[in-house]
Amino acid sequence: MRGTLFVVATPLGNLADLSPRAAETLRRVSAVAAEDTRHSRPLLTHVGSAADLISVHAHSAPEALERVLELLASGKDIALVTDAGTPAVSDPGAALVALARARDFQVVTIPGPTAVAAALAVSGLSADRYLFLGFLPRKGGERRRLLERIARSEWTVVVFESPNRTAELLDDLADACGGERRAAVARELTKMFEETRDGTLAQLAGYYREAPPRGEVTVIVAGTGAAEREPTPPDPESRARELLAQGLSRRDVADRLADETGITRNTAYRLVNDL
């Protein structure tokens, strides 16, 4: 007999949101693979589970994943949980799920809370179709690219952010999308101080600069409502000349050029050096 990997959604904050099926699964599995064992231990205590806890996070060594797979191979059932919400959604648990499926172990979902759906439901923005981008990079070309992607999106966009960087994100979104774009900020969902505030990006950025949020933050941005038009990449040589004229270093110009035009960084470096 081979074990089953159960992907178990856990509460965002309110323990009453744990489904009876999820609680029963956590009680009967042999072990629980958790993003943060310190965070998950109170949940197991709450449901009366004696399962062993195994740490599986973004920086886990391959040996940690192998340990879970070995337990599955020995016939033991394992539950995968994240700190809050649904595992593998903006969460390192996706790597374990992929390995388990690659080795033909049965993977079963125990659905439940997810901050994406919860925030959309209370935002007042369209959720017929939406784009989820998780956490944006803190800086650099990839952040700029994703901000531009949000600005062009026909559909509502959902992103996660840490509370101390929320105001900065809203400022960047206002610059990219225009300050009048509608948006909402949901924080501490299902917890005592749950709050969802909607308005324009400019209004929300101003509010959270003055009143920095606490807790988990989800930002929802309205779409344009119009079909996207993919921008035509700029001519690499012309763009390189523009950036050099702005006083950027050759390395910075090459990095920007690769991000904006799609050419490789090596090609960009050669082009800039030739100029």
DSSP 23-50: HHHHHHSSEEEES-HHHHHHHHHHHT--
Domain that holds residue 246: 236-274
With CA atoms as reference, report the closest residue to 270 among 221, 229, 237, 242.
237
With CA atoms as reference, report the closest residue to 259 among 133, 137, 154.
137
**Residue whose tokens read 């064992």:** 37
58, 79: one domain = yes
Alpha-carbon distances of 192 from 1, 21, 26, 96, rounded to whole Å: 44, 25, 25, 33
Positions in the chain short of pLDDT 50: none
Helix residue ranges per DSSP H, the chain: 20-28, 37-47, 62-73, 93-102, 115-123, 141-152, 166-177, 201-210, 236-245, 250-261, 265-274
99, 121: one domain = no
Q: Output the pLDDT for position 231.
A: 63
Report phi then psi at 72, rounded to 5.
-60, -40
Is 163 contained in some domain? yes
* pTM assigned to the model: 0.80
Q: Output the pLDDT for position 60.
A: 87
Q: Are 93 and 82 in contact (CB under 8 A)?
A: yes
Is 184 contained in some domain? yes
**Boundary residue ending a domain (80, 113, 146):** 113
CA distance 263 to 144: 17
**Boundary residue ending a domain (113, 128, 147):** 113
Alpha-carbon distances of 81 from 13, 46, 53, 91, 162, rounded to whole Å: 14, 15, 10, 10, 21
268, 194: one domain = no
User: Count of domains in the chain?
Assistant: 3
pLDDT tens-place string over residues 114-152: 999 999 999 999 999 999 999 999 988 899 999 999 999
Q: Output the pLDDT for position 35.
A: 92
Report phi then psi at 112, rounded to 5.
175, -140
Is 228 contained in some domain? no
Q: Output the pLDDT for position 230.
A: 64
pLDDT tens-place string over residues 144-169: 999 999 999 999 999 999 999 999 99
